Each structure stands twice: as C-alpha cells, then as structure tokens.
Amino acid sequence: MKYNFGAGPCILPQEVFQQAADAVIDFNGLSILEVSHRHKDFVAVMDEAIDLVKKALNVPEGYSVAFLQGGATLGFTIAALNMMRDSKSAGYINTGTWASGAIKEAKKVGVDVNILASSEDKNFSYIPKNFAIPAGLDYLHFTSNNTIYGTQYHAFPKNDAPLVCDMSSDIFSKPVHVADFDLIYAGAQKNLGPAGATLYIVKDEALGKSTSPFMPTYLDLKQQVEKESMLNTPPVFSVYVSMLNLRNLIANGGVEEMAKRNEAKAALLYHEIDSNPMFTSKVAHEDRSLMNITFQLVDEAHKDAFDALWKGADIVGLPGHRSTGGYRASMYNALPIESVHVLVDVMKEFTRKNG
Ligand SMILES: Cc1ncc(COP(=O)(O)O)c(C=O)c1O
C-alpha cells in the first residue's frame, strides 16, 4: 500500500477505483470504454453526474453544469471568451502559476486584463487582500486554491463584477456559495475524478452574452449547455468515474463532512511543520491551503536523509512542484488521515535521527 500525496491526478476513494475497474470489464454488457456516448445507459450517466454536481454543491436554480475537455487550461480561454462583454476589460488576481496562465490566455483572446493584485513580490506565498476593484469590469477572475504554492482563499473577493473562479484544486473539498459566481471551472483530476473531464458551473444569465468576435463552437458554453455536454464525444470514462466519485462523496456526508475531515488532516500536518524545528513553511498562516501543504527543510543538507525516510515509508508524490522545490503534501478528499499520520511520524523520526 502506498500513501499517495500526489497533486493531481491523485488519490480517489478505493471503492471508486474498484467500481471503475468493474465497469471497464462490464458496464452494461459492454465495457464503459466501448459504449456509445449516445446510448441511453451513458446518457443516464451524464445526467446523473450533472445532477450530483448540483446536489453536492447545492447549485441554485438558474445555473447549468457541463463536463467538457481541455482541462482547466482550456478553461482559461473558455472563461475569457464567454465572459467578455462590452468593456472587454476584466480584473485578474495573480496568485501564482495557474492564475498567470489564466491572465496570459485572456490577453490572447483580446481581454484587456487589469492585474488588480499580485503576490509575486513574495513568491506567491500569500493571498492579496484589500486591493481596489474598479467599476465597470466585465468580470473578476481568481484562483481559489494555488496548487503549486499552497495558498488558498478562505474568504472570496466580493464585488459587483461577475465573479469567475478556477476551483480546480479545492472544489468539493468544502461548501461553496455558488450563487456568488457567474462561472466556476475546474479540471476533474483532484477531488472529482480522473483527468479528461473539466467541470463548468455557469449562471444561465451569463450564457450567450459574449462580445467576442471569435467563438469556436466547442468553446461556447451556451451551445455546450444546450447540447447537455454532448455536442461532441464527451470524455466518457472520466465522466463515469466522476459520477461514481460524486455518489461516494454524497454517501459519505458530502462537502460539509469533507470540510471537517480536510481541516483535521491539515491541522495535523501544519502542527508538525510548526512544532518540528527541522521544517519550515513559507506560506502566510492565514492563507494556508488545506489541500496542498507546502513545506521545506530548514537545512537542505538533510534532503537525502529525509527523502530516504519518506520513500522507505511508502509515501509517494511528496516532492514540491518542479518550479518551487521543497515538499508538497496534497491532501485531497480521498486521502485518509492515516496517511497524514504516517507522514507526521516520518517527520518526527527524521528529527529524532538528525536533529
Ligand atoms: C488551480 C489549477 N488551475 C489550472 C490547472 C491546469 O489544469 P489542467 O492540467 O487540467 O489544464 C491546475 C493543474 O493542476 C490547477 O491546479
């Protein structure tokens, strides 16, 4: 058994892996991998997946859900194209690599991007607050959890501008007040399912209002919603496993219960980082992520010794992102608290031997 702290694709519940494996052999007499996406049995899967997203996040009336492809990376473009209005001017908050990616792609499709705040001055180790938001923006974009740096919004920016959020790495980890947003998007491969599907939750009023002169059919959320995510062949397997995982989430108490578990897991590891003299964290306390916990050795000279210990304990996925170094423990919904205990014990043992 491995303790998987990978940042995504990542751990999902073991029961979901088993059910997915069963359906690869026999979904309805056919494998889920060979069934037509137009077959009523798969249409029922897509309908249930959409319904379960609405149920899990308490999505209000007047919102639609779609499962598309292209990852959150295509979401950067889809968000900009669909939310562009007369002013073509939008506010972005730069909290790291993925927020920067969203900014870059919005500029490419002609959005006049105002970077209203950035935490680049301190290597993205905090969430900017108390910045001015000009009137008249088409929308305001932010990234709810910064997977690479380990920061997370614990209160969302509130403004008159329609809010657009990349929630790839913390959606379904806690309740979210969907009515505050015009558009939420998220790659599936953290708390939702396998890579391949990308989730969109969009306010119906926002559909069909784009002023972009360029709108490829696939990128038009209005058409995608009207075609119920079946405009072309959807990512069948990823949607199927997401549906299984959403069933599992709801059966286990839903996002409220996940929030409690995620808080307990994060508290355990942050306590060890803060109390163990061999480790440190660069992230501002109030902005610490509950999903991706980044930390460093106080003395890099001990790297080989620490790496040997956690690898020997069957921990995988612990190195930080290649752009940051250090360590990152990703603690998505499916990561059991026992895995965090194993990591904390390794950290204690390391300090006993090397401190
Ligand atoms: C917050 C966030 N946004 C965007 C992305 C890019 O997602 P994708 O690989 O699905 O395009 C990631 C990937 O980890 C992410 O964590």
Does 218 lie in the same domain as 339? no
Distance CA 110, CA 95 (A): 21
* Residue 193 Cβ contacting ligand 1 at under 6 Å: no
User: Per the domain annotation, does 1 fall within a domain?
Assistant: no
Q: What integer pLDDT is reported at residue 329 of this predicted model?
A: 98
User: Per the domain annotation, does 8 fall within a domain?
Assistant: no
User: Per the domain annotation, does 118 fall within a domain?
Assistant: yes
Distance CA 302, CA 285 (A): 25
Does 182 lie in the same domain as 207? yes
pLDDT, tens digit (0-9, with 9 covering 90-100), for 175-196 = 999 999 999 999 999 999 999 9
**Percentage of the chain lying above the pLDDT 70 cut:** 100
**How many domains is the chain partitioned into structurally?**
2
- Which of 97, 105, 124 has its CA nearest to residue 284? 124
Does 160 lie in the same domain as 134? yes
- Boundary of a domain, candidates 207, 230, 251: 251
Does 117 lie in the same domain as 57? yes
In this prediction the pTM is: 0.98
What is the CATH number for 321? 3.90.1150.10
Is 157's pLDDT higher than 90?
no
User: Per the domain annotation, does 339 fall within a domain?
Assistant: yes
User: Per the domain annotation, does 264 fall within a domain?
Assistant: yes
How many angstroms is it from 8 CA to the middle of ligand 1?
Answer: 9
* Residue 166 Cβ contacting ligand 1 at under 6 Å: yes
- Boundary of a domain, candidates 218, 251, 284: 251
Q: What integer pLDDT is reported at residue 201 of this predicted model?
A: 99
Distance CA 165, CA 43 (A): 28
How many angstroms is it from 288 CA to the middle of ligand 1?
Answer: 19
pLDDT, tens digit (0-9, with 9 covering 90-100), for 257-270 = 999 999 999 999 99
Mutate to test the pocket of ligand 1, among 100, 168, 172 (most ligand atoms within 8 A of CB): 168
Give the residue numbers spanning the domain of 127: 14-251
* Residue 194 Cβ contacting ligand 1 at under 6 Å: no
How large is the angle between the packed helices 40-57 and 254-275, nearest 10 degrees? Answer: 60
Does 283 lie in the same domain as 155? no
pLDDT band at 1 (very low <50, low <70, confident <90, very high): confident
- Boundary of a domain, candidates 251, 286, 312: 251
How many angstroms is it from 233 CA to the middle of ligand 1?
Answer: 22
3-class SS of residue 40: helix
Does 98 lie in the same domain as 189? yes
Q: Mean pLDDT, to the nearest integer, of 322-346?
A: 97
pLDDT, tens digit (0-9, with 9 covering 90-100), for 286-321 = 999 999 999 999 999 999 999 999 999 999 999 999
pLDDT, tens digit (0-9, with 9 covering 90-100), for 100-128 = 999 999 999 999 999 999 999 999 999 99
Residues belonging to the active site: 98, 166, 190
Q: What integer pLDDT is reported at residue 94 of this predicted model?
A: 98
Q: What integer pLDDT is reported at residue 158 of this predicted model?
A: 81
How many angstroms is it from 305 CA to the middle of ligand 1?
Answer: 31
| Average model confidence (pLDDT) across the chain | 97
User: Per the domain annotation, does 155 fall within a domain?
Assistant: yes
Q: For 319, which DSSP code? A: B
Is 280's pLDDT higher than 90?
yes
Does 228 lie in the same domain as 274? no
Distance CA 187, CA 66 (A): 12
Ligand 1 atom nearest the C-alpha of 195 is 10
Does 262 lie in the same domain as 136? no
User: Per the domain annotation, does 7 fall within a domain?
Assistant: no
Does 302 lie in the same domain as 223? no
Tokens at 208, concatenated: 């069909």
